[in-house]
A and B are shown apart, each in its own frame.
Chain A
Amino acid sequence: MDAGARVDALRRRFKPARRGHSLCFNPPPRPDTVTDVDAIPALAAQQTGPRPVRRTLHRFANPGRFLRLAARVQPWLTGPALLLTLLGLGWGLLFSPADYQQGDAVRIMYVHVPCAWLSTAGYAGLAAASLAALVWRHPLADMAAAEIGPVGALVTALCLATGSLWGKPMWGAWWVWDARLTSELVLFFLYCGHMMLIRAFDDAERGARAGAILALVGVVNLPIIHYSVQWWSTLHQGNSIGLTGSSTMSGSMLWPLAVAALGTTLGFAAIVVARLRAAVMERRLRGLLMAHAESVA
């Protein structure tokens, strides 16, 4: 990462006018700055001064601006996320009715379905960040992709594990190779592959680009996961809640599920924002330490 970041900063300095966002990284020339530009707070602060704002998203390319905004947004994500998740899961676990067929085992749904939803929604976020990184070269997009990856992988693992714990008492099997379960397992491997690929190159920028391409290729899997239960006969049941059309779930189960899903979605966002803040600060720290080491040497 640091090597790539340094190379990046150097390259940007020598051809500053070619890219839109290089404005943010284009400080007044200084003899002693052979480091990442945003590593020096004084410069980062300077960059927020008067300059044309070209594109909305690129306003957040400035790390200082991102950190300030994210720190302000963070409590509004974390608080409601914890509250709604606890409310939804408590409601599902203690106060929702048992299913007429599945009995109390249906309560596993309140953790399984939010995890399944987040595994695909998180992947869509990963793919969107990868697209922004490849096309617009947004400086935060690669970092966002790198931070979404592990969280998404963990959520996908949770989805598979809770599904297994639900399948054993209901279907009579921990695992079957039907289209829904297999495509969800492929999603887990995609997350893991992305995590490994972005760390597999000496040049961090090349790793990020390879990871972004993998993430975009993997988008093919998202409709397969969603429609697998309609296209092929699977052991997994069909979708109970459609974007359009009628649901086949009682309201007394749908409401706690909706609350839990909203809470965990906010929680996913809160964790990704927190990790992204930490990542931005870590990059800044690396730059500072590098500058310090060079000034000593």
Chain B
Amino acid sequence: MINPLGYDHLSYIAASYGLFAAATLYLVLGSRARLATVSRRLRAADPRARGSSAE
């Protein structure tokens, strides 16, 4: 097992930080994509919405 930091229980530590990073990416990218989609569809649905819904 590669253990560059020389830590004991490295697999448990790596799994914890990995889970956290995955969940953060999911939340951040998910909300960004949701905002982008809804802004685009809002602009397409009503040109007047451009002013008030712009980010």
Contact = CB atoms under 8 A, between A and B. Distances in A.
A263 B38 CA distance: 27
A277 B34 CA distance: 10
B35 A274 contact: yes
A207 interface: no
B1 interface: no
Interface of A is mostly: helix
Interface stretch (A120-128, A162-170, A222-230): A162-170
A105 B12 contact: yes
B13 A104 contact: yes
Interface stretch (A16-24, A40-48, A137-145): A40-48
A107 B13 CA distance: 7
Contacts of B53: 41, 67, 281, 284
A93 B17 contact: yes
A277 to B, nearest CB: 6
A158 B23 contact: yes
B42 A169 contact: no
A281 B39 contact: yes
Contact of A288 (B17, B26, B31, B49): B49
A285 B52 CA distance: 13
Contacts of B12: 105, 108, 165-166, 168-169
Contacts of A278: 31, 34-35, 38
Interface of A: 41-42, 44-45, 64, 67-68, 71, 85, 89, 93-94, 98, 103-105, 107-108, 111-112, 115, 151, 154-155, 158, 161-162, 165-166, 168-169, 267, 271, 274-275, 277-278, 281-282, 284-285, 288-289, 292
A211 B7 CA distance: 45
Given A166-B12, A169-B12, 19 more contacts: A41-B51, A67-B52, A71-B54, A89-B17, A93-B17, A94-B5, A105-B9, A105-B12, A105-B13, A111-B17, A151-B27, A158-B23, A271-B27, A271-B28, A271-B31, A274-B32, A275-B31, A275-B34, A288-B49
A158 B19 contact: yes
B12 to A, nearest CB: 5
Interface residues of B, number: 34
A68 B52 contact: yes
Given A94-B5, A271-B27, A285-B38, A71 B55 contact: yes
Contacts of A98: 7
Interface in B5-25: 5, 7-10, 12-13, 15-17, 19-20, 23-24
